[in-house]
Amino acid sequence: MGTLSHAAIAPRLAALHHHRASHGLSHPSSPSLRLPASNGVAKKSRVPFAQSKSHNQDIDFSDPDWKSKFQRDFERRFNIPHITDVFPESVPIPSTFCLRMRTPVIEDFAGGYPSDEEWHGYINNNDRVLLKTIYYSSPTSAGAECIDPNCTWVEQWVHRAGPREKIYFKPEEVKAAIVTCGGLCPGLNDVIRQIVITLEIYGVKKIVGIPYGYRGFSDKELAEMPLSRKVVQNVHLSGGSLLGVSRGGPSVSEMVDSLEERGINMLFVLGGNGTHAGADAIHNECRKRRLRVAVVGVPKTIDNDILLMDKTFGFDTAVEEAQRAISSAYIEAHSAYHGVGIVKLMGRSSGFIAMHASLSSGQIDICLIPEVPFQMHGPHGILHHLKYLIQTKGSAVVCVAEGAGQNLLQKTNATDASGNVVFGDIGVHIQQETKKYFKEAGVPVDVKYIDPTYMIRACRANASDGILCAVLGQNAVHGAFAGYSGITVGTCNTHYVYLPIPEVISHPRLIDPNSRMWHRCLTSTGQPDFV
């Protein structure tokens, strides 16, 4: 996941972590989900509800109106920031985006803006998407996320994404910038391409790319890259990022200074949790300075660990490409006498890639993820089960997420440029422990270890991700022209939505060990509990 300078963003993330300690698809915690009060102490719920995994609110369940109050509070928290919050005098104009008139017929809109009020392709500002669709009848039901002890159904609606009939920026006055931060992820070029194409359809002529992430705002040797449909036409045919990526970056103040100097009034930020924290900080600084700038994020994390969203771009490609590594490990293991294949996949905090790759491949005997603890030794350990697999099947294949089992490794205080703790290599650890265990047992084994991480990250997006990237890129532009800022775009229950950035960056989205999908993975692998 991409991030801003850790020193600049860590306090903000830490405050948000403290403000919302939750573990699921929805995570209300306080009436405002902004930074906590100055005392930094979160209040406790009047009625503790231990079974609730995703809610820790000040809710008085004895109040007969608690449900309606919760819904009003939820609506307020998910109300997305708008230009008119700071500039109430802003006058909307007819949208220049209409599929009956794809390009302006008059240069620089000298004769006015194209308008077609009869075209029914616009989204009403009051359209909403239901965040949760399952009515859990019991808090003990698999995957249940209940607000109260009775598992009451509470509707939670979020803003629907798409083009609006009225816009708040004149295209000829817009200078739009795109920046890609963090590590590589399949689909970055696809999103860049669609943002540029959609901006041009609105009539924007000044579009630039900021090179090498947030670093490009401060490094004088890195010139902004002019972008147009001609430039980006075929960039989606290759992996990586046309603009380049990097971790870390200058201070928020320096970046907003750069925005002012460059005359940028639309900024599209592609990155993960840390990058979005930076985007939110930029948005707030622009508001503080009363700058008419729209800051819109597009969630980029190959780990699929962004809260509230069905899926992030690059994830499908990662799962598909992981099959190649798993297949190689399977062939190596089954072709050797007492073969053991170990594949390490991405997933610092969550094991979505490992879980989905294991389930889809059907070749994995043991799947290990960060959310589920395990031990290597003992009668219920990984090694004991590997011995059983060797005895009964003759071979075994292990899939492990990079963040799994870090408690088994020597801790380090080292961090990368993003401020992330540098993890030990759990794959190498399992490989070494396996060799040592079987050697001491006098059983010959042939252990092969495969780490395809950077091969996967550099891949071109597959068809599924290509479509997701296209729609995300287009909706990011629609959101900016509609006057929204401090938002990110994603999918929720198969629909595209706008969400306020603070709602999605408090912590990574995690796999619920009691979820049906994890149970399905366990059914497929047949592995026991390693505790």
Determine if residue 255 is labeled as part of a ligand binding site.
no
The Cα 349–Cα 15 span in angstroms is: 19
Nearest to 434 by CA among 423, 426, 445, 442: 445
Determine if residue 324 is labeled as part of a ligand binding site.
no
For the beta carbon of residue 135, count every other beta carbon within 10 angstroms.
Answer: 9
Beta strands (DSSP E) in 82-124 are: 93-94
Determine if residue 454 is labeled as part of a ligand binding site.
yes
The Cα 176–Cα 154 span in angstroms is: 39
Nearest to 527 by CA among 320, 374, 405: 374
Determine if residue 275 is labeled as part of a ligand binding site.
yes
Determine if residue 9 is labeled as part of a ligand binding site.
no
Determine if residue 273 is labeled as part of a ligand binding site.
yes
According to DSSP, residue 98 is labeled B
Determine if residue 152 is labeled as part of a ligand binding site.
no
Determine if residue 473 is labeled as part of a ligand binding site.
no
Strand pairing report for 225-226 and 206-210: antiparallel
According to DSSP, residue 82 is labeled B
DSSP alpha helix (H) spans, 219-314: 229-232, 252-262, 273-288
Whether residue 341 contacts residue 330, with contact meaning beta carbons closer than 8 Å, is answered with: yes
Amino acid in position 31 = P
Q: Which residues contact 130 (CB under 8 A, 6 or more apart)?
A: 155, 156, 157, 493
Nearest to 459 by CA among 178, 245, 188, 181: 188
Determine if residue 381 is labeled as part of a ligand binding site.
no
The Cα 292–Cα 295 span in angstroms is: 10
In angstroms, what CA-CA distances link 506 with 14, 23, 149, 325, 459? 8, 10, 25, 32, 29
Determine if residue 272 is labeled as part of a ligand binding site.
yes
Determine if residue 440 is labeled as part of a ligand binding site.
no
Determine if residue 113 is labeled as part of a ligand binding site.
no
Q: Which residues contact 262 (CB under 8 A, 6 or more apart)?
A: 175, 177, 208, 224
For the beta carbon of residue 98, count every other beta carbon within 10 angstroms.
Answer: 20
Segment holding 299, helix H or strand E: strand 294-299
43-71 b/e with 16+ CB inside 10 Å = b? eebeeebeebbbbbbebebeeeebbeebe
Q: Find tokens 């592609």 and name the residue.
A: 270
SS3 183: coil
Determine if residue 433 is labeled as part of a ligand binding site.
no
CA atoms within 13 A on the CB side of 67: 10
Determine if residue 456 is labeled as part of a ligand binding site.
yes
Determine if residue 225 is labeled as part of a ligand binding site.
no
Determine if residue 303 is labeled as part of a ligand binding site.
yes
Q: Which of 303, 305, 365, 465 is catalytic?
A: 303
For this structure, is 303 an active site residue?
yes
Burial of 414 (0-12, 13-18, 19+ CB in 10 A): exposed
Binding residues: 183, 247-248, 272-275, 301-303, 346-348, 402, 454-457
Binding residues for Mg(2+): 273
Catalytic residues: 303
Binding residues for substrate: 301-303, 346-348, 402, 454-457
Binding residues for ATP: 183, 247-248, 272-275
